[in-house]
Amino acid sequence: MNLTLKVWRQKDASSSGRFVEYEARNIIEEMSFLEMLDVVNEELVAKGEDPIAFDHDCREGICGTCGIVIDGSPHGPWDATTTCQLHMRAFKSGDVITIEPWRAKAFPVIRDLIVDRSAFDRIIQAGGFISVSTGGAPDGNAIPVSKDDADMAMDAAQCIGCGACVAACKNASAMLFVSAKVSHLGLLPQGEVEQDRRVLNMVRAMDAEGFGNCTNIGSCEAVCPKEISVDFIGRMNRDYRRALLRNE
């Protein structure tokens, strides 16, 4: 398989970027998208050129580190798939593939396809935790939780914080990410104690980071590799209004 890649190259946050064209030759269909980039980088290094910088870690679709917009879609053309789990059989020989980073004010480009997603870390630090003593794992398991709440909490907890929702949203909103982090704790009895403080602090931190507002387009849910539902955004909005009323 031979491909033409149009890759965003940018030296650092203060430099102007541009698309640069590369040829990817003899690519095997069973390769992942990141393995394909590895092959291209090996050729660039062999020619004395700078390799394409991109984020990756576990390459198992778990950590959320990989994040690339492929032909206009975060993580590429497959549903419920991270970039590292996208295989080259999704493309055909002769394709021209455009590759660029997440584009959002709150995710400044560090280099090439790598962006600074520490805004998500600061939102988590604002309230995405339980500070009350809940005991060890056996103690937590001894607390009755309804199956509906447990299932919903697990659905929300699947969020890996990759930022695809932000990259897909025309407003660069982080509502899907924040609502998942608020909900998976708020749905469980261990997290109910700090529910009001959590949602108030995390929403305020999100706004302070410069993420846009949610206008219910639904593009975030469409590209989420873990298929987080926009229903969590509605739940967080209700929690936020209740918390405001209780804490006025």
Asked if the model's pLDDT at residue 135 lies above 80, the reply is no
Same-domain check for residues 180 and 93: no
> Residue 99's domain is classified under what CATH number?
3.10.20.30
Two structure tokens written together for 71:
């032909």
Which tokens go with 88?
């080259």
- CATH code, domain carrying 176: 1.10.1060.10
Q: Considering its fold, how many domains does the chain have in total?
A: 2
Give residue 93's pLDDT. Answer: 97
Is the confidence at residue 200, as pLDDT, over 80? Answer: yes
Tell me: do 122 and 242 sit in the same domain: yes
Look at residues 111, 144, 179 and tell me which one is the last residue of a structural domain: 111
143 pLDDT tier (thresholds 50, 70, 90): confident
- What are the residue ranges of helices labelled H in the chain? 33-46, 118-127, 137-141, 147-157, 164-168, 175-186, 189-192, 195-208, 219-223, 231-246
- Are 226 and 124 in a shared domain? yes
| Distance, CA of 66 to CA of 32 (rounded, Å) | 12
CA distance 31 to 43: 16
How far the first Cα of the chain sits from its last, in Å, is 62
Shared domain check, 105 and 143 = no
| Per-residue pLDDT, 57 | 94
Token pair listed for 94: 């002769």
- What average pLDDT does the segment 10-37 reach? 96
Tens digit of each residue's pLDDT (9 = 90 or more) over 214-243: 999 999 999 999 999 999 999 999 999 999
pLDDT band at 138 (very low <50, low <70, confident <90, very high): confident
Distance CA 217, CA 211 (A): 15
Q: Which pLDDT score, from 0 to 100, does residue 247 have?
A: 86
What pLDDT is attached to residue 136? 79
Of 60, 80, 111, the last residue of a domain is 111
> What's the token pair of residue 14?
């203060």
- Reported as a single tens digit per residue, the pLDDT across 75-106 is 999 999 999 999 999 999 999 999 999 999 99
As a whole number, the mean pLDDT across the chain is 95
Query: Is residue 152 domain-shared with residue 224, that is, in the same domain?
Result: yes
Residues 6+ apart with CB under 8 A from 100: 7, 8, 19, 68, 69, 113
Environment class of residue 247 by beta-carbon count within 10 Å: exposed (0-12), middle (13-18) or buried (19+)? exposed
| Chosen domain end from 76, 111, 146 | 111
Residues 169 and 242 occupy one common structural domain: yes
For residue 201, what are the domain limits?
Answer: 118-246
